Structure 1
Amino acid sequence: MLTIRQITEDTEVVIRGLEKKHFKDAKATIDQVIALNDKRRNAQNKLDSNLSEVNNLSKSIGMLMKEGKKDEAETAKSRVADIKESNKSIQAEMDQASEDMQNLLYTIPNVPYDSVPEGVGADDNVVEKMGGMETELPKDALPHWELAKKYDLIDFDLGVKITGAGFPVYKGKGARLQRALINFFLDEAREAGYLEIMPPTVVNAASGYGTGQLPDKEGQMYHCNLDDLYLIPTAEVPVTNIYRDVILDEKQLPIKNCAYTQCFRREAGSYGKDVRGLNRLHEFSKIEIVRIDKPEHSKESHQEMLNHVEGLLKKLELPYRILRLCGGDMSFTAALCFDFEVYSEAQQRWLEVSSVSNFDSYQANRLKCRYRTANKKTELCHTLNGSALALPRIVAALLENNQTPEGIRIPKALVPYCGFDMID
């Protein structure tokens, strides 16, 4: 959530940033926020003025009574009563303005950094870097859903029977490959200094608001109506909310957490070839890395996270590219975001496997996540997170890019985790 100070002091910068994200009616919305804030402040000033007058009158009443000026004392008492009655409506007006402003702020996305390119959608993203190993496949190369069937690794039809489309069942070496990747990613994160967390996979609405999934993405989350709980779309939500309503000491920063969870996304409106097999699921495994940091260090932390994810893809021997997302393709809450994609030779297309984002103070302001500086001043933290990594498309690329006439080769880094070097 944008801060009132940011909006009032850098109004034009905020409006230009929102326009870069193609936020509709940016100027009108910001003007409305400023008007509500002015209304709230004017009411507060009136309440403060009335309180000062009541305090002065209250002091004078006792003196007037001592001096025998009973009529003047009664007039003062009557004035105090009138002011207190008036304060009720002023307080109600201030509370309403505050509530309306807060609700409006929830609907406004984060302002992108200047380094975010202009653009409307995915076609306008900028390729920052390409790397990884080139792949040569047999002429009769198969997509991963055919390989999964051929080697009895994943049963998509059984998942439909048990639950529905988008909930695959992993079997045998397919299940072991999943577990191997989870352990590999967690071990790599721990070696990079991340503290492992095992959070709940359902959260309350306050947590959804804290990280910005609500009210923006409620249609994409599974909602348990009876208990008003949400299945998490990513471990970002529960892990970042650990620090909701917390004041950290400056010496604790940066905080580095990682977590493996199942993730749940409705993916409403998804259809066609892009959702075949593992390309787009309703339930999937993911390892998330989360950082809480000081503003002056968050860009450095962001680069360290990008380096970490790139290192994972190198160890998995996959062709990859890094995209700097344009304003129109960024998430609601991000100020800067890079996507990692791996290339699927069999499908002849790029598959997104990670987004690494810096949210600046946007989430922290929602969360009331702050830190106390050495001079005892309280400041908002910066929050960052990224997938390291999401499994489904990694599995798809591993199966497709490593197929040989003898079977599917396992990258060297995964062999100790899998217990086998070939799927045949």
Structure 2
Amino acid sequence: MLQVSVLRQNAEWAKERLAVRNFKQPELVDEIIALDDERKRIQAEFDNTQAKVNSASKDIGKLMAQGKKDEAEALKAEVATHKTSISSLNEKMSQTEKTLQDKLLLLPNLPSEKVPPGKTPEDNIIVRSGGDVPELHAGAVPHWDLIKEYNLVDFETGAKITGSGFPLYRGKGAKLQRSLIQYFLDFNTEAGYTEFIPPFVVNELSAYSTGQLPDKEGQMYHVTEDNLFLIPTSEVPVTNIYRDEILKEADLPQKLTAYSPCFRREAGSFGKDVRGLNRVHQFEKVEIIQICHPEKSYDVLEEMVNHVEKLVQSLGLPYRILKLCGGDMGFTSALTYDFEVYSTAQQRWLEVSSVSNFESYQANRLKCRFKDSNGKTQLTHTLNGSSLALPRILASLLENNQTEEGIKIPGVLHEYFGAKVITK
């Protein structure tokens, strides 16, 4: 959530940044500032009226001590009137603050100056690419055929157990999935990230604090009886570790990693681009998160992008890194880099990671702060990235490494998987 002080300092600049996102309600900035003015006016009136009550209460005591009962009673009547005004002002203040907060929730994060303009994915900028696209044998097929041929993932039984989009991994498919998760976690912890296993459901405040609510409410599975939400990513519970915390400057950055299943309704998703593992309702992902000093967050962002790039490189997959344009960024992000790997069998790029800097947008909701060297309390910056999301990584590995003899396993996974090839 944006700070009102940021909007006040430069309202026109804020509107210009929102325009980079193609945000259609720039007038919200002026409405928020006007509501904040009203809040301040009510607060001043409340303080002034309360001061009158305090002063009159002292005078009543003095008058009673002097035997001036009639004057004291007159002041008591004034105090009663003031207290009625205070009650009314309290109600106005609560309503104004609620309206102000509701308006602030409608504003997305302000894009960094580094964000390119544009409205659609076609406007994203390719920062760099790497890896070689393999030449496949004549009988090469997409992963949705490979998983049946090698008996790795069973969508039909998954649908019977739960519903469409809930895959059942079996045998070597389950082992390969587990091998990838363990490798990703080891790769992250070796880089200084502390591993967590978080709860896989969160309360409403946790979902609100990282920006999933109210923006992505329709994409989350809601346990209505307990008002809990199945997590769409471990970013939500792990970042909430620092909700309502004040850290020491010396303790920054905090580097965290976590594996979790992820649950997304993916409402409205259909067509050929969602076949097989390309888009599912439950999937596994390893996440990296950093809580850092605001002056260092863009250096941290580059560090995290380089970390994910090395991980993708180690799997031998052709990849590219995109800097997302304003119209393609997530609601809470100030700058996002997407990683895509090339699926040779599908002849298309598949997104496998997003690495984002949220600046203070999440931290303001979380009330995640630190004390600087001068003893001043400031908001931290928060960042997160997929390291990596499993379904499309698995799909690409299967497709790009298929041969007539079997599916080759990348060298970094041999010790985890216990074999170099998956055979029929």
TM-score relative to the length of structure 2: 0.98
In 2, Cα distance between equivalents of 1:147 and 1:59: 85
Counterpart residue identity of residue 226, structure 1: E
Find the counterpart in structure 1 of residue 266 from structure 2.
267
Superposition deviation, residue 29 in structure 1: 1.3
Quick check: 2:147–2:153 contact (8 Å CA) kept in 1? Answer: yes
Find the counterpart in structure 2 of residue 21 from structure 1.
21
Find the counterpart in structure 2 of residue 351 from structure 1.
350
Q: What is the SS of the residue equivalent to 1:403?
A: coil
Deviates more, 1:129-138 or 1:278-287: 129-138
Find the counterpart in structure 2 of residue 282 from structure 1.
281
Quick check: 2:253–2:292 contact (8 Å CA) kept in 1? Answer: yes
Q: What is the SS of the residue equivalent to 2:118?
A: coil
Q: Deviations over 1:207-259 (max 9, x none)?
A: 11001110011110111111111111000101011111111111111111100
Counterpart residue identity of residue 348, structure 1: Q
Superposition deviation, residue 67 in structure 1: 4.1
Quick check: 2:339–2:352 contact (8 Å CA) kept in 1? Answer: yes
Query: For 1:359-378, what aligned pairs fall within 5 Å after superposition?
Result: 359-378=358-377
Superposition deviation, residue 421 in structure 1: 0.5
Counterpart residue identity of residue 303, structure 1: E
Find the counterpart in structure 2 of residue 116 from structure 1.
115
Find the counterpart in structure 1 of residue 11 from structure 2.
11
Query: For 1:160-309, what aligned pairs fall within 5 Å after superposition?
Result: 160-309=159-308
Find the counterpart in structure 2 of residue 64 from structure 1.
63
Deviates more, 1:107-116 or 1:52-61: 52-61
Find the counterpart in structure 2 of residue 55 from structure 1.
54
In 2, Cα distance between equivalents of 1:170 and 1:75: 81
Superposition deviation, residue 405 in structure 1: 1.8
Counterpart residue identity of residue 317, structure 1: G
Counterpart residue identity of residue 393, structure 2: I
Find the counterpart in structure 1 of residue 313 from structure 2.
314
In 1, Cα distance between equivalents of 2:375 and 2:199: 33
Counterpart residue identity of residue 224, structure 1: V
Counterpart residue identity of residue 230, structure 2: L
In 1, Cα distance between equivalents of 2:162 and 2:57: 70
In 2, Cα distance between equivalents of 1:328 and 1:233: 22
In 2, Cα distance between equivalents of 1:258 and 1:60: 62
In 2, Cα distance between equivalents of 1:59 and 1:250: 46
TM-score relative to the length of structure 1: 0.98
In 2, Cα distance between equivalents of 1:18 and 1:300: 24
Q: What is the SS of the residue equivalent to 2:340?
A: strand
In 2, Cα distance between equivalents of 1:267 and 1:190: 31
Q: What is the SS of the residue equivalent to 1:347?
A: coil
Deviates more, 1:340-349 or 1:17-26: 17-26
Quick check: 2:133–2:344 contact (8 Å CA) kept in 1? Answer: no
In 1, Cα distance between equivalents of 2:317 and 2:176: 16
In 1, Cα distance between equivalents of 2:149 and 2:64: 98
Name the % identity.
58
Counterpart residue identity of residue 14, structure 2: V
In 2, Cα distance between equivalents of 1:194 and 1:330: 26
Superposition deviation, residue 385 in structure 1: 0.4
Give aligned pairs, total: 423
Counterpart residue identity of residue 379, structure 2: L
Q: Deviations over 1:5-38 (max 9, x none)?
A: 0111121121111121122221x21121112111
Q: What is the SS of the residue equivalent to 2:269?
A: coil
Q: Deviations over 1:320-372 (max 9, x none)?
A: 00000001000010000000000000100000000000001001111111111
In 1, Cα distance between equivalents of 2:398 and 2:331: 33
In 1, Cα distance between equivalents of 2:65 and 2:282: 77
Superposition deviation, residue 59 in structure 1: 2.5
Counterpart residue identity of residue 13, structure 2: V
Counterpart residue identity of residue 341, structure 1: E
Quick check: 2:133–2:342 contact (8 Å CA) kept in 1? Answer: no
Query: For 1:388-399, what aligned pairs fall within 5 Å after superposition?
Result: 388-399=387-398
Instruction: Give the gaps of 5 or more residues in structure 2.
Output: none
Quick check: 2:203–2:227 contact (8 Å CA) kept in 1? Answer: yes
Superposition deviation, residue 141 in structure 1: 1.3
Quick check: 1:132–1:313 contact (8 Å CA) kept in 2? Answer: no
Q: What is the SS of the residue equivalent to 1:57?
A: helix
Instruction: Give the gaps of 5 or more residues in structure 1.
Output: none
Quick check: 1:246–1:368 contact (8 Å CA) kept in 2? Answer: yes
Q: What is the SS of the residue equivalent to 1:291?
A: strand
Quick check: 1:233–1:263 contact (8 Å CA) kept in 2? Answer: yes
In 2, Cα distance between equivalents of 1:70 and 1:145: 91
Deviates more, 1:322-331 or 1:142-151: 142-151
Find the counterpart in structure 1 of residue 384 from structure 2.
385
RMSD of Structure 2 on Structure 1 (CA)? 1.2
Q: What is the SS of the residue equivalent to 2:184?
A: helix
